[in-house]
Structure 1
Amino acid sequence: MDVGGAVTLSSGVLGGIGAVAVHAWKPLALKDAIAAALKANDAMISTAANAAGMKAGKIAVIGSLKELGVEYFWPEMSSSILKMGHYNEVANLTGVIYEKKFYACDAMSTKMFEAVCEPFDMRFDILKADGVTNGVLPKEGVPKVLKGIVEQAEGIAETEAAKVAAAKTATIKATQEKAIEAASTHLYTTIAYSILAILIIVLIMVIIYLILRYRRKKKMKKKLQYIKLLEE
């Protein structure tokens, strides 16, 4: 009886069964773990994404207004916008912006007016490029430009929010993957120890069986020798 071969075969079979079981469990467990983690952290992801998008939107509108020269007439513009609840509130700043511009320009010299105020009006289409011809009224030109700035900021905000949400999601998935990998390694180890324990028990039983079988054969041999001796 090839005890070594039998034990080796048994260990291979049991090990294979264990590996298949863990291999089948792992992807399902990972899928469930990720789904549960994402659900548990949904509010956190949403909050972080919205906050990042809002900040990006505010920074975008601030940058656009700076390019238009608004900050020259409204020095505290950036801090005021950052304190707003939403960057789209910028669309309602026509009165604030043009009032500050009006009073500042009214007190300027002709030279400063031409250097600062006229270019400002041109950017809002209130004054044509020739510097002489009037364009649209401030109540029409300023809101139109502000609306365009807000629309542009919306795209930037959405992109940043999606980027942050994706990053948070990826981090959660990676964490769950590591956890499941560690769990599967533990399972492999547990299965290996279980298989080893089973094999030791089987081996002991086989050894006991062989010993008993040997003793039985030895006893039978003596009995046959005794019978043969009696017959002689």
Structure 2
Amino acid sequence: AKAAGDAAGVQALINKLKVDLGIYNLYKTPLANFITKDNYCNATVISERVKVFYKSLSKTQLEQQKYILLLSHRNKGDAEGARAVVEGAKTFVEEAVKKANDMTVQVAESQMTTLKTGELAQITETSTYAYSAIGYSVLAILIIVLVMIIIYLILRYRRKKKMNKKDQYTKLLNQ
């Protein structure tokens, strides 16, 4: 889950730097190689690199379409522009970290759901055997009770029959 979140954070930061600032390389290194899962959340390092990149651009380079946002910062003045670029880069890093955290939570929830589903199936399978064992035990008890009732009724009938015979014999003797 953390790896998926880190990958999403790195990708979000790279996309923000490419789309919003027009930066594709830092120190002649592609962003994908420079920004890794280990350093994407380090706002200080990344914002300093962006600041150095910003200061290294000439006025003619800044007038290119892809650096239009950086040009607007340069128009504020050197110190104010550099501060605005650093703040923008830090904002991008914060957004990337937030996206990484959201993705980590989302992946963790989906993995938990998968685990719960698997465990639920296992519990159901186990409990099915337990339920059948309980059912068979109850059935055996009911059969035993039924047999005992039948034996009781038979013995009662035989006793009653015997008593009736005895009563008849006593009546016969009394006459």
Q: Whole-Å Cα distance in 1 between the matches of residues 118 and 8 of structure 2?
A: 27
Q: Whole-Å Cα distance in 2 between the matches of residues 118 and 101 of structure 1?
A: 14
Tell me the secondary structure at the aligned position of residue 202 of structure 1. helix
Q: Whole-Å Cα distance in 1 between the matches of residues 118 and 68 of structure 2?
A: 54
Q: What residue number does 1:56 align with?
A: 8
Q: Whole-Å Cα distance in 1 between the matches of residues 127 and 121 of structure 2?
A: 10
Asked whether the equivalents of residues 47 and 87 of structure 2 are also in contact (C-alpha less than 8 Å), the reply is no
Asked whether the equivalents of residues 13 and 93 of structure 2 are also in contact (C-alpha less than 8 Å), the reply is yes
Shift of 1:72: 5.5
Q: In structure 2, do the counterparts of structure 1 residues 88 and 204 end up closer, same or farther at CA, with 3 Å as the change threshold?
A: same
How many residue pairs are counted as aligned between the two chains? 169
Normalised TM-score (structure 1): 0.59
Question: Where in structure 2 are there 5+ consecutive unaligned residues?
Answer: none
Normalised TM-score (structure 2): 0.75
Is 1:135 the counterpart of 2:67? The answer is no
Shift of 1:118: 2.5
Q: What residue number does 1:42 align with?
A: none
Asked whether the equivalents of residues 92 and 143 of structure 1 are also in contact (C-alpha less than 8 Å), the reply is no
Asked whether the equivalents of residues 22 and 67 of structure 2 are also in contact (C-alpha less than 8 Å), the reply is no
Q: Whole-Å Cα distance in 2 between the matches of residues 61 and 221 of structure 1?
A: 102
Q: Pairwise mapping of residues 79-228 of structure 1 onto structure 2 (< 5 A)?
A: 79-82=33-36, 84-89=37-42, 91-93=44-46, 96-97=49-50, 98=52, 102=56, 114=60, 116-119=61-64, 122-124=68-70, 125-128=72-75, 135-137=77-79, 139-228=82-171
Shift of 1:91: 4.0
The one-letter code of the counterpart of 2:162 is: K
Q: Pairwise mapping of residues 29-44 of structure 1 onto structure 2 (< 5 A)?
A: none
Question: Where in structure 1 are there 5+ consecutive unaligned residues?
Answer: 1-47, 107-112, 129-133
Asked whether the equivalents of residues 43 and 94 of structure 2 are also in contact (C-alpha less than 8 Å), the reply is no
Q: What residue number does 2:24 align with?
A: 71
Tell me the secondary structure at the aligned position of residue 41 of structure 2. helix
Percent of residue pairs identical: 38
- The two structures, once aligned, show a CA RMSD in angstroms of 3.1
